[in-house]
Amino acid sequence: MEATRMPLIGDRFPTLEVMTTQGKKCLPDDYKGKWFVLFSHPADFTPVCTTEFVAFQKRYDEFRKLNTELIGLSVDQVFSHIKWVEWIEEKLGVKIEFPIIADDTGKVSQTLGLIHPGKGTNTVRAVFIVDPQGIIRAILYYPQELGRNMDEILRMIKGFQVSDKHGVAIPANWPHNELVGDEVIIPPATDVETAKKRLQEYDCYDWWFCHKKL
């Protein structure tokens, strides 16, 4: 029997039927035409995970402006998820509006490579960014003890959308890059003639490092 492997960047997101706090969903088909961020957390009713859910919810409108939905996941049962989001709303005044997958069998986590034995039996803090065609564009992993930076996840989606629309690359710390500011990178030339033209067409450090404003 052929061994299965965890999905990689550039793969289609695996077809999965999941139970969530908002009913059954089929991934990625239920999100066709939208970007989505699937993120796993180690456990309900834990401090770092609670801060993450509040942080995601506080930025939910920003994600939706980017045609992006959020989906949480852990190996807790759906009853635990429901009670936890009730607690968050009651105690912290934040209503969690996005669905949370209840993976109490561990099947989804196994498929996506979310359980790392060296870090225990709970899911690590994984992030999958999936585009409107169901293709995985980025995968991030964080250990249980380190909460995520949601602004970076937003930045990544903005960067992917700019790159896809304009055929450019995104520099480090964009849009506050230390060399080119909020400008974007022109893909390297692949022939001598184009390389020569680049120096006249764009601002360049050299023919292989040219940039422009959008």
Contact 180, 171 (CB under 8 A): yes
26 is catalytic: no
- From 26, 49, 204, 210, active-site residue: 49
User: Where do runs of H (alpha helix) occur along 70-180?
Assistant: 78-92, 107-112, 150-166
- End-to-end Cα distance, the chain: 50
Contact 200, 194 (CB under 8 A): no
Phi/psi region, residue 120 (left: phi>0; alpha: psi -120 to 50; beta: rest), is left
Which tokens is 119 given?
A: 């870090």
The CA–CA distances, whole Å, from 137 to 61, 71, 77, 123, 211 equal 21, 16, 29, 21, 23
List, by residue number, the catalytic residues.
49
